[in-house]
Amino acid sequence: MIRAEHIFKSYLSQSVIDDFSYTFKSGQLNTVIGASGSGKTTLLRILLALEPPSAGKFYYDNQEIQDSESQGLNNIRQQTGVLFQGSALFDAMTVYQNVRFPLDLYSALSEQDKHQRTLECIARVMLDGNEQRLPSELSGGMKKRAALARAIVNKPLYLFCDEPNSGLDPITSAGIDELIAGITHELQTTTLLVTHDMNTVYSVADDIIFLHKGKLAWSGNSTGLEQQNLPELQKFIKIYKR
């Protein structure tokens, strides 16, 4: 669980996040949607402790995150996986080396256990047989799957996914969605996924959070999404539903 309480963020006089409070539940795919400039990326960066809020607090389970250099945050980061929008694979590393990298950085597992865990995660995202390929030899969807395997190799309690379907065709996107949803439910992670893709929202989202001009304008599930009458959300759905 990640809990945000009255988060504000402004740059100079420009408000970006305005009094955001929400509890992102564990074992659920918490999906954040909103138009460009609504504050989604800023919220993600704040909750990842990559930049501080101007005001407000947030907690990973019951631990308040205060100082980006604190030992507590270092421990949290070892329990956190991130799937970046651009995959962010190391170009000179193979799929195997990329996926194993967090284990070499953080884990006290034995060499054999690291090897086995790496292979298991590669197989979980259906990339077995591609362990020795470089990122330049992979398709866009394969890069996303390799990055997802790396994000889960430490068996994280918290998983952040930033526009995971960006640049992918609908069929590949659906496959990535199913992987993220399945992993979330298997590992019972607190998963926060930022997206514009309404197919993702309707097919796999458990909780939906709509940001508008930095405010939490609506939250609910896909059934409630069809029944709501918020003009800003209806406009967003009309533009991004395909």
In tens, the pLDDT along 90-147 reads: 999 999 999 999 999 988 899 999 999 999 999 999 999 999 999 999 999 999 999 9
Burial 118-150 (b: 16+ CB within 10 A, else e): bbebbebbebeebbeeebeebeebbbbbbbbbb
Cα separation of 110 and 180, whole Å?
27
Is residue 76 over pLDDT 80?
yes
* Mean pLDDT in residue range 222-226: 90
Question: Quick one: pLDDT at residue 68?
Answer: 60
In this prediction the pTM is: 0.93
Task: Look at residue 192 and tell me whether its pLDDT is greater than 80.
Answer: yes
- The two tokens of residue 229 are 């009458």
What pLDDT is attached to residue 69? 61
CA dist 33 and 161 (Å) reads 12
32: tokens are: 């954040």
Bridge-based pairing state of the strands 207-212 and 28-33 = parallel
